[in-house]
Amino acid sequence: MQILLVDDEAELTVPLSRVLAREGYGIDVAHDGDEGLNLAMQHSYDLLILDWMLPGYSGLEICRQIRQEGDRTPVLFLTAKDTIDDRVAGLDAGADDYLVKPFELRELLARVRALLRRPPTLEPATVSLRLRVDDLELDEENQLALRGDRSIELSEKETQLLGYFMRHPNQLLTHLQIYDTVWRDTDKPSSNALAAQIRLLRRKIELDTTSPLIHTVYGKGYRFGRSAD
């Protein structure tokens, strides 16, 4: 079993990598997010152990990036962030487990064993690239939405935004969550720019004869689904 450990604290990575090696695991170590992301994308691992706060890409960004590439490798976060919002953000990004620093090594080893015991998920090639919510279907690969008998061409950003909504139906998605996911690799737009993008998307997927799917939660963000209630 091969594990990638990404953490910038040598006082943690050195003893932890030794303990994991003694347990029979192969260990690769990266000390910043850029190196960690490159290793995760270039090699096949059985488990990723990611610190949340890193130089360069954060652990959260690494997790989001590999998930968007279809990589289902289990991810365990090690972090000092321990609020409910932090835990939710980590899990929403695609993490499988979450361990708050400081922690006992025996607990970490137990969680590693539990994650490695999980049955493998479907390979990316067998996973459908289409999303469906209510009567709306999204073909992300071809940037095409289907609703009723209409075929709707989308821009790349509209596809990313709609895909994020459709992966989280009936959930309140805050402005910050949308910025961090849809604009993660570019400068964050203004709130007016986001509102304009939402208007363009609504015009394409919502007509007078169809039920609205994108609902504004004033002062907070948006909720996607048949009803805002």
Query: 54-97: per-residue pLDDT in tens?
Result: 888 888 889 988 888 788 889 998 887 766 776 677 777 788 88
pLDDT at 8 over 50: yes
Residues forming a β-bridge with 191: none
Which helix (H) or strand (E) is 208 found in, with range?
none
Report residue 63: phi and psi, to 5°. Answer: -60, -45
22 alpha-carbon distance from chain centroid? 32
Domains of the chain listed by start with CATH number:
2-117 (3.40.50.2300), 128-224 (1.10.10.10)
> According to the model, what pLDDT value does residue 209 have?
66
DSSP 73-116: --EEEEES--SHHHHHHHHHTT-SEEEESS--HHHHHHHHHHHH
List pLDDT tens digits, range 155-182: 988 999 999 999 888 889 998 888 888 8
- Please report, for residues 37, 66, 89, the alpha-carbon distance to residue 125 in angstroms, rounded to integers and kept in the order given: 21, 15, 27
